[in-house]
Amino acid sequence: GAVVSQHPSRVICKSGTSVKIECRSLDFQATTMFWYRQFPKQSLMLMATSNEGSKATYEQGVEKDKFLINHASLTLSTLTVTSAHPEDSSFYICSASSRETSGSSYEQFFGPGTRLTVL
């Protein structure tokens, strides 16, 4: 149980285009979803936290208009990188947690990640 999927796993796009990444909880309803970014040989950096039906909470320094997050249902969150540029190239990872699976413990389960390359 507690499986999280991400799509696509890899995307290459031209500078200036927008890219949408989907994160789905497959076998549970995710109360909260998180989006992270990871650079090579570094730890995960939280970008934003989203609850179903409400606006995402962005971490300091993360541009809301650049990284649009939509948590439209209890099983789906999307991250859209708008007008992508080469510096947005990175590994993006989502995670999900739910009181169904972990009560108040906030155990998080992670998707496999999306590798974005902007040319």
Question: What residues line the site for another protein (CB under 8 A)?
Answer: 2, 32, 34, 38, 42-44, 46, 49, 51, 57, 91, 93, 95, 97, 102, 104-110, 112-113, 115
CB of 100 to another protein, least distance (A): 13
CB of 17 to another protein, least distance (A): 23
CB of 106 to another protein, least distance (A): 3
SS (H, E, C) the chain: CCCEEEECCEEEECCCCCEEEEEEECCCCCCEEEEEEECCCCCEEEEEEEECCCCCEECCCCCCCCEEEEEEECCEEEEEECCCCHHHCEEEEEEEECHHHHCCCCCEEECCCEEEEEC
CA-based nearest residue to 62, from 78, 42, 79, 75? 79
CB of 75 to another protein, least distance (A): 18
Residue among 88 and 113 whose Cβ is closer to another protein: 113
Residue among 16 and 108 whose Cβ is closer to another protein: 108
Residue 96: strand pairing partners: 33, 109
Residue among 7 and 82 whose Cβ is closer to another protein: 7
Residue among 8 and 16 whose Cβ is closer to another protein: 8
